[in-house]
């Protein structure tokens, strides 16, 4: 299984980078993981709706360059479907059983993802109705992917 995580922005904080690196290392036992970072669009302090829409379009263009084909695309967005860890595991297993060998998760920046990317997604996934910094969402996503593989193998990691 190949997994690509495309994220808007870089991990600047050492504690987020260390956590991300730990889960990337752990995931190496179950998949070929690639994390791609795209530069966020620059916006003024208080952007207008039109400026935000334009920025999301710019970020979408950068993200689309890294979208693998073929792959199941999973867009992280607050209006997406909320899955338990077990349900995410089941979804990944179903994709594998149906011949999908590449998953691509997309994490937007401060203003989320463009509607075009959300429409393109095979699954819109919400981690919670709460809002998290996209840097933390990256760590949480990597941990949940790792947890899904551990659930699949019947490990005690997931209690």
Q: What is the pLDDT of residue 155?
A: 86
Domain ranges of the chain: 2-43+69-153
> What are the tens digits of pLDDT across the range 3-58?
999 999 999 999 999 999 999 999 999 999 999 999 999 999 999 999 999 999 99
> What is the C-alpha to C-alpha distance for residues 106 and 114, in angstroms, rounded to an integer?
11
Homologous superfamily (CATH) for 2-43+69-153: SPOUT methyltransferase, trefoil knot domain (3.40.1280.10)
131: number of Cβ within 10 Å: 11
Q: Token pair for residue 138?
A: 């990256």
> What are the tens digits of pLDDT across the range 118-139?
999 999 999 998 888 889 999 9
Share of the chain above pLDDT 90, in %: 89
- Residue 118 in contact with residue 16, Cβ under 8 Å? no
Burial of 45 (0-12, 13-18, 19+ CB in 10 A): exposed
Q: What is the pLDDT of residue 131?
A: 85
């Amino acid at each position: 299984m190949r997994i690509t995580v495309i994220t808007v922005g870089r991990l600047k904080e050492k504690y987020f980078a260390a956590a991300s690196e730990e889960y990337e290392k752990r995931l190496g036992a179950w998949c070929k993981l690639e994390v791609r970072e795209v530069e966020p669009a620059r916006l003024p302090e208080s952007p207008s709706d039109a400026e935000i829409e334009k920025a999301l379009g710019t970020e979408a263009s950068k993200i689309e360059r890294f979208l693998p084909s073929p792959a199941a695309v999973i867009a992280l967005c607050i209006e997406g479907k909320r899955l338990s860890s077990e349900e995410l595991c089941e979804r990944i297993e179903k994709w594998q059983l149906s011949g999908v060998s590449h998953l691509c998760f997309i994490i937007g920046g401060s203003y989320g993802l463009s509607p075009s990317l959300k429409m393109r997604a095979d699954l819109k996934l919400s981690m919670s109705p709460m809002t998290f910094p996209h840097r933390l969402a990256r760590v949480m996503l990597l941990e949940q992917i790792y947890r899904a593989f551990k659930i699949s193998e019947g490990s005690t990691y997931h209690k």
